[in-house]
Each structure stands twice: as C-alpha cells, then as structure tokens.
Amino acid sequence: MTTTSSRTVVVTGASAGTGRAAAQAFGQRGDRVALLARGQDGLRGAADDVEAAGGTALALPTDVADFEQVDAAATKVENTFGPIDVWVNVAFTSVFAPFTEIAPAEFRRVTEVSYLGFVHGTMAALARMKPRDAGAIVQVGSALGARAIPLQSAYCGAKHGINGFTESVRTELLHDRSNVHITVVQMPALNTPQFDWVLSRLPRHPQPVPPIYQPEVAARAILRAADHPQRKQYWVGASTALTVLAQRMMPPVLDRYLARTGYSSQQTSQPVGPDRPNNLWQPLDERPDSDRGAHGSFDDRSISRSPQVWLSRHARSLSVAAAALTAGGAVLTRYRH
C-alpha cells in the first residue's frame, strides 16, 4: 500500500503518547489526519501538531468504548476528508494494581477501552473499506500481549485479546481475497504520559519496564506498517523480540522471574498518594498540564531508535542471506580441507 499521495488517516487515542506521535508523523507526510480521543485539550494540541507538520487535522472528541461514537466519527471523517485509507487503533487505559485490588467496574472499563475500543475501530473501518476493497488497519499491540506481567492484568488481557481478534479477522479477509489488510505492531515499553495519569494503587510512581523507547520510535513503526500492512505483525525494540521469543521457549522461567522482579521494575523510588488524579473515567482536562503531548517523564532514560523495526520487516531476506552465508562457509570449509 505504499503511496506518495496524501491519505485519509484515523488515529484513535491521538491526544497523547503513541497516538499523538503517530498523528504528527502522518501529518509530516501531508496526510489528512482525523484525531479521536476523549481529552479535548490534548486533541487541540494534537491538531496543532498535525497542522504544523504539514498535514490537515480533524479533531473529534470520541470515547472508543462507545461504538456509536466511533461510527459517527468515521462518518464525519469521510464526509470531511473522503474515504478512509488507514485506521490506526491506539487508544487504551489501564489500572496498575494487583488483580485482587481492582474493582469489577474498573476492570470492565479497561476492557471496554483497551480491547473493545480496537474492536469498534476495526468494525467502523471495515464497514467502509470492504465495499471499496481497499484500506489498511493497524493495531498498536504490545509485547505484553505475548507475555503478561504482574500488576497489569486488565491491560495484558486486552492486549492478548487484540492478538486473537486480529488473527481471526485477518483469516476472514484472506478467505474473501480482500485487498483490505490488517496488521499488528507489537510495542516495547514507551515513554508516554500514561504513567503520570493512569489509575494506580502502587505505593510508588509507576514506570515502564526498562528499556524504554521514545514514542517517535513507535510512530515510525506505525507508518511502516501502514505502508506495508500485508505483513502479519511488526516487532518494535529488541526487548519485544526477546520477550516474545523467551515466552515461546521458557514461559515457566519467565513466570518465576517476573514474580521476583515485576513489582519493583514497574515503580520508581518516588512515593505517590492514593488520591492521585487519573483518567480512567474522565480525561484530565482543564488542568495546567492537561495537554501532555507525546512524551512522558522518562526522556533521560529513553531510546530514540530501534533497528528491530527494520529487522522485522526484512526478516525473510535476512534468513535467506544467513542461509546462503552458512552454505558458503560450508563450501569453503570443505575446500580448505
């Protein structure tokens, strides 16, 4: 689906973090970018970012947990910009706490946003793309969708669900010989504002599990996936590749390792109070720091590049090259002897 002409792109969760960085990156290409999120302050900032980058922005306050809102937003996008070419599902929320300390309504809310939000976005996109037999859907996944960790049971469950749901939809599109494609970009720990406003019952400030990557790394991977959505999935960051592979080979070892380290590695040394504001139910608008942009609080510890994205895309050709080198080495060995 690689194209040099401007496209109509929808990004959910566009007001901050990965969605914000992806929206700006699409804007740099001159795309028409529809921004879906709850927080109006963040949406205004995201729209300014897209316009400043050279794109055209349309900010649409939307709660992705409500399909009617998502579908109405999709209609507004096509009435304003024309047919949707790319739909990127990013929006999520979470609760940092042991499972036994999460209320049923809180767990349901995380699932409705972080899992059903992707289902709703995919439904709205396919309803418009399939009749035209064109389009790409990019699901922003996580290494935690392959290997769950403690204190994030609702989020990990949602990310696991996205993988299964997307595989099912992909096989249906293949059965139909459709030219609509759906792919997943599996992300590492990212330096986004979520750790400053997520609902947390931890005694200390939550943090991403190192190594931490900047959201622009995620944005570049999302653009690559939108350009080449035929690939089933992309891995971003060496930590994602190691996590997925380790889970395939030795899950019991990871269970014990995470039981020992998973609590401390997700918290800084900074204490936080139980009344810390959070955005589980409502966006944190009308606050001095309500528009946080793409970056979180960990710039000084974050990585700005990921060769794994390129390696993920070229895995097949690299395997062929490695096999050729191995065969060539065997020939030389025989020649020398």
Condensed to tens digits (0 to 9), the pLDDT of residues 189-242 reads 999 999 999 999 999 999 999 999 999 999 999 999 999 999 999 999 999 999
Question: Cα angle at 305 between 121 and 42, to 5 degrees?
Answer: 45
State both tokens at 132: 């035209």
Instruction: Say if residues 89 and 66 touch (Cβ distance below 8 Å).
Output: no
Question: Cα angle at 164 between 163 and 165, to 5 degrees?
Answer: 95
Q: Give the integer Cα–Cα distance in Å for 171 and 164.
A: 11
Q: Indicate the pairing of strand 86-89 with strand 135-142.
A: parallel
Which has the closest alpha carbon to 10: 69, 83, 66?
83
Tell me the pLDDT band of 307, cut-offs 50, 70 and 90.
Answer: low
Query: What is the average pLDDT value for the chain, to the nearest integer?
Result: 91
% of the chain with per-residue pLDDT over 70: 88
Q: For every residue of the chain, which 3-state class applies, written as one string?
A: CCCCCCCEEEEECCCCHHHHHHHHHHHHCCCEEEEEECCHHHHHHHHHHHHHHCCEEEEEECCCCCHHHHHHHHHHHHHHHCCCCEEEECCCCCEECCHHHCCHHHHHHHHHHHCHHHHHHHHHHHHHHHHHCCEEEEEEEEHHHCCCCCCCHHHHHHHHHHHHHHHHHHHHHHHCCCCEEEEEEEECEECCCHHHHCEECCCEEECCCCCEECHHHHHHHHHHHHHCCCCCEEECCHHHHHHHHHHHHCHHHHHHHHHHHCCHHHEEEEECCCCCCCCCCCCCCCCCCCCCCCCCCCHHHEECCCHHHHHHHCHHHHHHHHHHHHHHHHHHHHHHC
Q: What is the pLDDT of residue 308?
A: 53
- List of residues 6+ apart from 106 with CB closer than 8 A: 95, 154, 199, 280
State both tokens at 57: 């922005």
Instruction: Say if residues 86 and 59 touch (Cβ distance below 8 Å).
Output: no
Q: Give the integer Cα–Cα distance in Å for 262 and 243.
A: 14
Q: Give the integer Cα–Cα distance in Å for 174 and 248.
A: 26
Q: Give the integer Cα–Cα distance in Å for 144 and 159.
A: 7
Instruction: Say if residues 33 and 9 touch (Cβ distance below 8 Å).
Output: yes
Strand partners, 143: none
Instruction: Say if residues 184 and 164 touch (Cβ distance below 8 Å).
Output: no
Mean pLDDT on 316-326: 48
The domain spans of the chain are 8-305, 306-336
- Chain centroid, CA 138 distance in Å: 9
Q: Give the integer Cα–Cα distance in Å for 224 and 308.
A: 12
The class level of CATH for 8-305 reads alpha beta
Tell me the pLDDT band of 98, cut-offs 50, 70 and 90.
Answer: very high
Tokens 């959910």 appear where?
12
Condensed to tens digits (0 to 9), the pLDDT of residues 249-291 reads 999 999 999 999 999 999 999 999 878 999 999 998 766 667 8
Tell me the pLDDT band of 29, cut-offs 50, 70 and 90.
Answer: very high
